Structure 1
């Protein structure tokens, strides 16, 4: 498959409400879309799942744009313009880090390849599910506990099967207890700290011990990404499963995390691990070891969400992912929306890796675009 053109488009897509975590607040999705095209004009699109500042992980949007333009795209094309999805990771392997832009470029090539073959990503991966179970991620609201309870009640009314709430020191036990008191044992609740707690802080450890008594589905990433031993110590004394997110950067880190007891559950994010090839490798290793996985999200538009939903259809994904409906984040998505159906989202069966951006919406929200290479 020969690539004739590559480009980067930057968009600013407003969120329906501010999304706050322990590392910052987003009101707009500032995101890069990578596109490739063949000589016949067939497009392929990929989404770069970065934030505007290097707070969640080292990647951020300005750096992703630079590394794509100056390094990744030239390296991809230097190996020959004829390239397939599985070959992208190998061509970019010599560059350290920059997982999100690598994943976006790989997804774009996959999308083009599948469109040319008139084949969908789910079929290519062997996914037999028609729908995947879906959870929802709820940020720290400005209105505190009362607003959180109201938001969670609304999401449960919509049919979400699992609720994940963001926590940080000072906003942890009170909101969790309020949710449990309000919605009872039927609420499938998990918390995500985004590495906000310190294993050296006795007060933090006390909060985590109290959370362990709340009957949570899991506690996600309480400590820093490199603190595998601290996570293993916590897992040893916790009844609640420990899930790792930021710590899982590739298949070998996943293997080490599970083998050392640092986690019981793995969150797989395509952008965080460098692309679909690596995400599939992590899934396969965890499936072979019997480690549950689920698909995390980065507030993706429909371009990135299409890849996530297809991935979440694989057999190792036994827990509801953050593959929520488009309306959870956007009044109007960049693509045709993903809809919630009885707590599930449908797996796309149209050609390509994800739905195409709507040209009018793309024009309305584009802040910059340029051709590369």
Structure 2
């Protein structure tokens, strides 16, 4: 397998409703769609999930585009591949830039699976035929959040993630628990707290949360270890985990009890699978986080979440949760709380090229 042509598409998709967290309000989602075409004309699709500003990580859409166009794709076009995992090896000399790496690596995985006439889930070693759907609810007024949770529960979602911060945590969690006493509920802090807030975070223990995600610094695993010792609520690490070694160190320090795997954040599907395998070995539950992806990125997440260690519903929801119209057909749907894992070749969805073209701001062919 050899890359012949790679096309980069900068697309902008309007969210149905703004997505609010403690750091940013996202109204429109800019993404990079990567189309990798081999010597036989077979196409694979990946997605670059960096945001336009560096609020989540230091990587942005502009830096990802540069790394893909000027460094990563020219390097990968020099090589012949037997397996997509070789992408990671060929890009190992490039530090970080994990979302750019995932964008091209994901396209190569899709291309490989299509050439082999197998599903991406099968190529990764997935075993589940369907996965449980979870959904994230952005920060807003308590009444609005309760109304949205009511709607999502009625749609079949079995796990709800809410955004919290020091000015909005106990109040909203208490209200949710009063209305939904048995709901699988997790709270995502996006690094909004400090170790000095330990006493306040301990108050969350009484609400039987599934987990609290990334309460402390985005690059921290040491203070999280101190905090976890004082909480019965499991801590889940997100932004702190950018590599396999981050996971290994965090587990050694007992910084958390759960790991969120986002392939864009850790540098690809191959690294994600390695992290999954380590966590299965260490009996640490994992789940697949979301990055407000289009259907292409969502399809990759579905395939990844079909691996056996993904026992907690991830941030994988229906296309209609975020978009009036997605760029894949058929769109991702939720049926009684579950999403079916496609069995067709590659990601298992077709690209709506008309919609992709309509949403594209810039293209570049390499």
TM over 0.5: yes
Which SS does the other structure have where 1:32 is aligned?
Answer: strand
1:63-118 Cα offsets, whole Å, 9 max, x none, are 1011111111111123x255641110111010001000101100111111111221
Which SS does the other structure have where 1:119 is aligned?
Answer: coil
Which SS does the other structure have where 1:26 is aligned?
Answer: strand
1:168 equivalent among 165, 169, 191: 165
1:188 equivalent among 174, 184, 190: 184
Aligned to 2:332: 338
1:113-134 Cα offsets, whole Å, 9 max, x none, are 1112211111223323210011
Of 25-34 and 117-126, deviating more is 117-126
C-alpha change, 1:89 and 1:328, in structure 2 (3 Å) is same
Which residues in structure 2 correspond to 1:17-166 (within 5 Å)?
17-78=17-78, 80-82=79-81, 84-141=83-140, 144-166=141-163
CA distance in 1, matches of 2:166, 2:348: 37
Which SS does the other structure have where 1:170 is aligned?
Answer: coil
2:227 equivalent among 226, 234, 239: 234
Question: So what's the TM-score if we normalise by structure 1?
Answer: 0.95
Aligned to 2:209: 216
CA distance in 1, matches of 2:323, 2:316: 14
Mark the runs of 5 or more structure 2 residues left unpaired by the alignment. Answer: none
1:249-294 Cα offsets, whole Å, 9 max, x none, are 1111101111111000000000000001100000000001111111
Quick check: 1:307–1:354 contact (8 Å CA) kept in 2?
no
CA distance in 2, matches of 1:231, 1:93: 28
Which residues in structure 2 correspond to 1:291-302 (within 5 Å)?
291-302=284-295
CA distance in 2, matches of 1:274, 1:104: 9
Which SS does the other structure have where 1:340 is aligned?
Answer: coil
Quick check: 1:296–1:323 contact (8 Å CA) kept in 2?
yes
2:277 counterpart of 1:281 = no
Quick check: 2:4–2:77 contact (8 Å CA) kept in 1?
no
Which SS does the other structure have where 2:145 is aligned?
Answer: helix
Mark the runs of 5 or more structure 1 residues left unpaired by the alignment. Answer: none
Aligned to 1:12: 12
CA distance in 1, matches of 2:82, 2:107: 11
Quick check: 1:133–1:345 contact (8 Å CA) kept in 2?
yes
Question: So what's the TM-score if we normalise by structure 2?
Answer: 0.97
Which SS does the other structure have where 1:55 is aligned?
Answer: coil
Quick check: 2:2–2:77 contact (8 Å CA) kept in 1?
no
Quick check: 2:124–2:273 contact (8 Å CA) kept in 1?
no
Q: Structure 1 segments of 4 or more deviating over 3 A?
A: 81-84
1:327 shift after superposition? 1.2
1:206 shift after superposition? 3.0
CA distance in 1, matches of 2:112, 2:310: 25
C-alpha change, 1:354 and 1:14, in structure 2 (3 Å) is farther
1:37-77 Cα offsets, whole Å, 9 max, x none, are 12332211100111111111111111101111111111112
Which SS does the other structure have where 2:328 is aligned?
Answer: coil
CA distance in 2, matches of 1:293, 1:222: 17
1:334 shift after superposition? 1.0
1:287-310 Cα offsets, whole Å, 9 max, x none, are 011111111110111111111111
